[in-house]
Structure 1
Amino acid sequence: MRLLALAGQFLSTAVTTEPSAALRVLPDIPALALPTVPETLRPLVRRILATKKQGKVKTDLLYFLAARGWTSHPADWMPEADDEDAPDVYAKWRDWAAIAASNSAARRQTDDRLTAENWDDFWPAARKVALIELRRREPSAARAVLEARLAGENADVRWRLLSLLAERLSDDDLTFLEAIAANDRAPRVKALATSLLARLGRGSAAGEDTAELAGFFAVKTMGLLRRARVVQAEPLKTPAQSLRRKALFDGADFASFADALGLAPQELIAAWDWNADRAADAALVDLIMATGTDAQVTQAADAVNERDAPGLIISLAERLAPGERARHAEAALNTRDIRFELVQLIAGTAARLRDPLSATTGKALLAALQRDDAKPSDHTEELHALGLIVSREGARGALERLTGAGLLHGDPRLDMLRLNAALDDKGAKP
């Protein structure tokens, strides 16, 4: 036993274990532009992250925190290097993850303004964020950087970077986009350039395919006194016709389609016979989303909202300003019986709705929670979505009403509402 004790002491004091390979010293985890959530709220954030396994729920929580002016603690959540769904505020952490996963020593770090010359001094996530900021401040300078460096990236990166031109898109971008549409080697990138050109009114001229697509619809005049034009879908007689119409929509652009019908784009949106052919409605909305101007997207959103089609608003939501998204979401909630999950898809995670529980959907939810046969797992997703869309004061009021309806203060279904109510709102308002 004495020899064993001496041997253990010898090994712990006189023998140094050599690493199997050269050690790398990683840089410190960088500080982000926004502070981490207060220490008292970290257990609540961890519990939401742990109980909500779906990727979308995690992403929604991170965007919610960022909109309120906060980020997660790195011990609670860290992005992967290729986590494209993470908010831009986490770009430095994504690049840190890339450094940690690489086989070389930590390489590039820069806080300079992005240029074609220092392109390689940026890690990919930070480069994307720098390009976004440059595009917002100086659109022509950002385009010049892309003109010089885009060809050196792979197809997926080219597609993601080219999509950033949708911000402040203008006629100054035409020459660059036309070159990409004509010469890029990736079909996906060429298609994106073509759709951006269409948003600028430079789509393909109405050809045989567009004329064939227009043949599936009829422009009619309705009314005796006010002669209004209506665009109606012709009945489809076979599944083959349905597939053909869909294929033609996929290859068209909105301005050319309107021209083939003899209408201006804004006239087509106003004259469309919404809700008569749901497949045609969805195809038109997708066409406007991909190739329409910002004004046409806004007009289409107003049109489908008036025609009681909230599902189509969801398809258009990504191209609407945050304030517009919140307005359409509140209108849909107050006038139609739609779930909070759909409201959240329309509004996004930066919404500040005041009192969703007073709407028909909220009253129905309260009644369902008070039923004798209600289960502790009922309406989990609805309550989580409610916590994402409501304002801070609204969250406090909702908690009072829900606990008054019989839910326990510690009910896990109320986690998102409790986080909302407790979190100081330091984020920018939509």
Structure 2
Amino acid sequence: MTDALKAEAIYDAMGTVLTRWTMGSAAAAAAPFWRAELGEDPAEAELRLLALSGQFLGIAVTAEPASTLRVLPDIPALALPTLPEALRPLARRMLAAKKQAQGKTELVDFLAARGWTTHPADWMPEAGDDDAPDVYAPWRDWAEIAASNNAARQQTNDHITVGNWDDFWPAARKVALAELRRRDPSAARAVLEAKLGNEGADTRLRLLSLLSERLSDDDIAFLEAIVANDRAPKVKALATSLLARLGRGQVIGEDAAELAGFFSVKTRGILRRARVIEAERPKTPAQWQRRKALLDGADLASFAGALGITPQELIAAWDWNVDPAADMALINLVVATGTDTQVADVAKAIGQHDATGLIVALAPRIAPTERARQAEAALNTHGIRFELAQTMAGPAARLNDPLSAPAGKALLAALRSDDAKPSDQVAELHALGLIASREGARRSLERLTAAGLLQGDPRLDMLRLNAALDDKGAKP
């Protein structure tokens, strides 16, 4: 038997050998070509067969490549530098420890806010990862190119136009369109008018949301056309909410009047009379559901009009912290249909009424610097935990002395307690590392190690990364 024929015979016999082993049977008899090597002892023969089979499959057998190999483009360079090599093992450990996508997103957002990106071997976004920072758009498009059978498009210009729309892959297209909207709102709208109708509903929804930046009366005609002609209810709903922000909301109809029936405008006080809007508590589950449905379908102006007041008066007179569901519904109304001034009024009101947790729902309409300021104020004034402060602030926070806040004092006390465990305060310490400035992270590490935590404690990973990382990001 020639070497080639012997190799073919061995390979053909491997299926039978593996089948017998899977069934718990001896397989030496299925490999007569190795009779001399296997020997006479049955137990020893099985062990030798295992060793010879592993060597054969690992060395003599190679997978045939596909008939046509596809060469992918290089992974593109990003606009921000890669995390320093010395800090990559720490970042990898943190990414591996975060089982949920939200935890990884927080770290990636933090690095982007500080002016850094991950190494592609440590983390890369998927094509549909809309939560990834804009700086990763080239990688998202590369992932889509790798997963598709289409050739890479040749993007020759970062500035998007009607003419070069098809040169952009989806993630880069959205980033370029957002930049154009910030720079030239009319030009961005003109591009959308020409191209939006050719996209799928989900893509139309994502791109239309870009109009919230520098929204103006010039956008009314385009939005009204979408409300009248678009096929997708969710796209129509977004266009309707944008129109409401411009004072082109729904007229006061039966639904708004019915919604007003769940609330009452009253006056309180003896010397200083003040108007207060109270929620009438629904009596049955059906009434709760109806109120929710009416609030979900209303806009701020029509709701206020049905009560006989202006939106600003509605916000000023709202009775916070009595009906949490109604509070959240009002916040959602303001986010979807309120003007920028009304958003600022609500943010101020919830800060004054110790309802700071609601600021998280306002986040899509609040500038990053204002979110960070609100979070710092809530830490110092209302004693919220670092976890909530981090959710409120997002990646823009840079607190120089967070442990001086009530949450910091509570954290130190908990870590010093006699019954403290090595697994305690994991989330709180991680959030502390996300909201501290570089100097604040260094100070916090000193105080935490003085409180008894070890330098190598994995709970301090986020603080260590923060303290070691040059802050190259835009300062709030």
Taking structure 2 as the reference length, what is the TM-score of the superposition? 0.86
Aligned-residue identity in percent: 75
**1:315 and 2:361 aligned:** yes
- The one of 301, 311, 319 equivalent to 1:273 is 319
Q: What is the distance in 1 between the residues matched to 2:223 and 2:153?
A: 33
SS in 2 for 1:81: coil
1:366 aligns with 2:421: no
After TM superposition, the structure 1 = structure 2 runs for residues 226-305 of structure 1, keeping only pairs within 5 Å, are 226-305=272-351
1:93 corresponds, among 117, 134, 139, to 139
1:118-137 matches, within 5 Å, as 118-137=164-183
Q: Which runs of 5+ in 2 are unaligned?
A: 8-61
Distance in 1 between the 2:113 and 2:261 partners?
Answer: 46
CA-to-aligned-CA distance 1:201-231 (integer Å, 9 cap, x gap)? 1100010100111111111122233222111
Q: State the AA in 2 paired with 1:167.
A: E
Cα distance, 1:105 vs structure 2:
3.0
Letter of the structure 2 residue corresponding to residue 300 of structure 1? V
TM-aligned CA deviation for residue 111 of structure 1: 2.2
1:63 and 2:63 matched: no
Q: Judge conservation of contact 2:268–2:276 (CA < 8 Å) in 1.
A: yes
188, 195, 207: which is aligned to 1:149? 195
The equivalent residue for 1:21 is 67
For residues 342 and 163 of structure 2, the distance between their equivalents in structure 1, rounded to whole angstroms, comes to 38
Q: Distance in 2 between matches of 1:373 and 1:228?
A: 50
Aligned residue runs from structure 1 range 25-64, under 5 A: 25-64=71-110
Instruction: State yes or no: 1:326 paired with 2:386.
Output: no
The count of residues paired between Structure 1 and Structure 2 equals 419
2: CA distance between counterparts of 1:222 and 1:107?
Answer: 65
Give the letter aligned to residue 390 of structure 2: Q
Match of residue 10 from structure 2:
none
Distance 1:286 1:270 in 2: 16
Structure 1 match to 2:423:
377
> 1:215-234 alignment to 2 at 5 Å?
215-234=261-280
For residues 354 and 199 of structure 1, what CA distance do their matches in structure 2 show? Answer: 37
Could you report, residue by residue, the CA deviation over 1:313-348 in whole angstroms, capped at 9, with x for unpaired residues?
A: 111122111121111101111122322111011100
Kindly indicate whether the alpha-carbon contact (under 8 Å) linking 2:158 and 2:176 is maintained by their aligned counterparts in 1.
no
Q: CA deviation at 1:112?
A: 4.2
State the alpha-carbon separation in 1 of the partners of residues 3 and 250 from structure 2. 88
Distance 2:392 2:147 in 1: 37
Give CA-to-partner distance per residue, 1:150-173, whole Å, 9 cap, x none.
010001000000011111111110
The DSSP-based 3-state class of the residue aligned with 1:231 is: strand
User: Aligned residue for 2:464?
Assistant: 418
SS of the residue 1:338 aligns to: coil
- Return the alpha-carbon distance in structure 2 between the equivalents of residues 17 and 352 of structure 1: 53
Query: Partner amino acid for 1:348?
Result: G
Say which SS state the counterpart of residue 395 (structure 2) adopts.
coil
Shift of 1:81: 1.2
Alignment of 1:181-196 (within 5 A): 181-196=227-242
Whether contact under 8 Å (1:32, 1:92) holds in the other structure is yes
1:237 to partner: Cα distance: 2.0
> What secondary structure, in the 3-state scheme, does the structure 1 residue paired with 2:275 have?
strand
**Could you say if the C-alpha distance between residues 84 and 294 of structure 1 is closer, same or farther in structure 2, counting changes exceeding 3 Å?**
same
**Pair 1:76-2:122 in alignment:** yes
Residue 178 of structure 1 pairs with residue 178 of structure 2:
no
Deviation of residue 3 (structure 1)?
Answer: 7.4
Letter of the 2:79 counterpart: A
TM-superposed CA distance for 1:129, in Å, is 0.6
Distance 2:275 2:406 in 1: 35
- Secondary structure of the residue that 1:156 maps to in structure 2? helix
Q: Report the counterpart of residue 13 of structure 1 in structure 2.
A: none
Alignment-derived partner of residue 356 in structure 1: 402
Deviation (angstroms), 1:117 = 1.4
Q: Does the CA contact (< 8 Å) of 1:24 and 1:105 recur in 2? A: no
Return the alpha-carbon distance in structure 1 between the equivalents of residues 417 and 405 of structure 2.
Answer: 19
**Counterpart contact for 2:328–2:358, Cα < 8 Å:** yes
CA separation in 2, counterparts of 1:317 and 1:391?
A: 21
Residue 141 of structure 1: how far off its partner (Å): 0.4
The structure-2 alpha-carbon separation of the partners of 1:392 and 1:112, relative to structure 1 and needing over 3 Å to count, comes to: closer
Change (3 A) 1:154 1:229: same
Partner of 1:202: 248
Q: What is the distance in 1 between the residues matched to 2:381 and 2:175?
A: 39
Q: Considering Cα pairs closer than 8 Å and 6+ residues apart, tell me whether 1 or 2 has the greater RCO.
A: 1
**Bigger Rg, which one:** 2
**Residue type matched to 2:261 in 1?**
G
Q: Distance in 2 between matches of 1:311 and 1:137?
A: 33
Report the Cα distance in structure 1 between the residues aligned to 2:63 and 2:96, rounded to whole angstroms: 37
1:96, distance to aligned residue in structure 2 (A): 1.0
| SS of aligned partner of 1:328 | helix
User: What letter is aligned with 1:215?
Assistant: G
Per the TM alignment, residue 45 of structure 1 is displaced from its structure 2 partner at its CA by 0.7
Distance 1:102 1:313 in 2: 40
Is 2:258 aligned against 1:212?
yes
Please say if 1:117 is aligned against 2:168. Answer: no
- Cα distance in 2, alignment partners of residues 293 and 105 from structure 1: 44
Per-residue deviation, 1:18: 6.5
Which of 299, 319, 337 is the matching residue for 2:383?
337
What whole-Å deviation, never above 9, does each CA across 1:36-66 have from its counterpart, x for those lacking one?
Answer: 0111111111011011121111111111111
Q: Which range moves more in the overlay, 217-226 or 56-65?
A: 217-226
Q: 1:20 to 1:396 in 2, by over 3 A?
A: same
The offset of 1:106, in angstroms, is: 2.5
| Aligned counterparts of 1:394 and 1:17: Cα–Cα separation in 2 | 54
Q: Secondary structure in 1 aligned to 2:264? A: strand
Residue 290 (structure 1) shift: 1.0
SS of the residue aligned with 1:229?
strand
